[in-house]
Amino acid sequence: METDNKELLESTLSETPVVETTPPDVTFEADYEADINSTTLPPSPGFGGTPSKASVGGASLHHSNHHSTTPASKFRLLMGLGLGLIVLVCISALTAAVYLLPFSDKFVRSVTSVVPYPVAVVNMQPISFGDFYQEYDALQSYYTSNSTPAEERLSEAETSDNILGTIIDRRIIDQLAKQYQVSVDDAKVNETLQAAYAQGGTEEEFTAEIKRVFGWDKETFLNHVIKPMVLASQVEEVIQSDATLQVEPKTKIDGALASLKNGELFATVAVANSEDTSATNGGDLGYLTADQMPPEWLAFFASSELNIPSEVIDLGSVYSVVEATDKVEGEEGTKYTVKAIIVYKKGLDSVIESFKTSSKIWKFLKTS
């Protein structure tokens, strides 16, 4: 019996296939590969593919649709590319027409009323055709309302240059205001508006006149004229009070005063240094009453002797040194014979021009 069991065992072992052992790391990699190959893959996005399955060991690998496209999907892709190319060509042609045709062309006006093409860019801030046309139409309305003869009107080139230059300056003032942390003073805006009303009678009469002359309503006039004007004056005040910007004129007036203190004649120093038209007359302004001179000058004359020059007097927009050579009492009050040396401070116009040199400004407008 024992012999029979032994023979049966040997027979069974001889028929069993030999299994070769695999090192643990190799077995792990093989199992990992088998798991990956047996994983159902998702369909290819956008191409309508179906899940694909790879067989164990990769013997019968079925490739995913990630790597192939059907004729229909290729057609859709080509159609999309073709339509995109057509749109790009149309946009390019439209843009070329806008910038190659004169701004007065009706096609340009129609397109730019829908698409905000820039007529200029100031330090990455665009100026739209709409901004330009609003100023242009106002000027044309002014010509019409005043029956301005054709020969007295600006040419298209002059008109566009003037309008564009004005708008660019406004953008620069806005940027300077931001730099100096200045915002529009509503009280000053209202004060300026009230002064404008006074010139036109009543608010209603003034508004009606603005509409007749420029074709603007009150709000448009406020935004295009009053507010920019007030902001410009505020920025200029900051500029003129900035000692770092006024070094040059202050040095000049200080030098003139030093010359006077060294005994030079007032007239000689005035001719050499004063920037007022009176410089050719040695700074002589003639007789001035109290209401014809700045209060700072009057205060100095009232407390000083004749033929004694003042210290430098800051009048806001100018530096001055003055001297009274005579004093007369009359029906109009006290009159002084005044001589003055006047040096202008650096103002807004000067700062704008300096700002432009360091700015990136592009103009795209075609005039003819």
pLDDT digits (tens, 9 = 90+) for 266-304: 999 999 999 999 999 999 999 999 999 999 999 999 999
* Beta carbons of 264 and 341 less than 8 angstroms apart: no
> Average pLDDT in the 146-156 region?
93
The CA distance from 252 to 231, in Å, is: 29
Query: Tens digits of per-residue pLDDT, 47-103?
Result: 344 444 444 444 444 444 445 567 777 666 666 666 666 666 666 776 776 778 888
Put simply, whether the predicted model's pTM sits higher than 0.75 gets the answer no
The CA distance from 74 to 80, in Å, is: 10
The CA distance from 334 to 290, in Å, is: 7
Query: Tens digits of per-residue pLDDT, 179-211?
Result: 999 999 999 999 999 988 888 788 899 999 999
Lowest mean pLDDT among 38-42, 151-155, 251-255: 38-42
Q: What is the DSSP track for 326-357?
A: EEEEETTEEEEEEEEEEEEPP-HHHHHHHHHH
> Average pLDDT in the 253-261 region?
98
The CA distance from 101 to 364, in Å, is: 11
The CA distance from 36 to 50, in Å, is: 18
- What pLDDT does residue 78 have? 63
The pLDDT of residue 2 is above 90: no
% of the chain at pLDDT higher than 70:
75
Domains in the chain, ordered, with CATH? Answer: 2-67 (no CATH), 106-240 (1.10.4030.10), 247-345 (3.10.50)
**Residue 311, token pair as written in the block:** 């210290």
10 Å Cβ neighbour count for 80?
10
Q: What is the DSSP track for 60-98?
A: TBPPPGGG---HHHHHHHHHHHHHHHHHHHHHHHHHHHH
Instruction: Please identify which residue in the block is written with the tokens 């000067």.
Output: 350
Kind plus residue range of the DSSP H or E element containing 122 = strand 118-122
DSSP SS3 for 53: strand
The CA distance from 61 to 37, in Å, is: 8
Query: Tens digits of per-residue pLDDT, 27-59?
Result: 434 443 444 444 444 444 443 444 444 444 444
The CA distance from 117 to 129, in Å, is: 6
User: What is the maximum alpha-carbon separation in the chain?
Assistant: 161
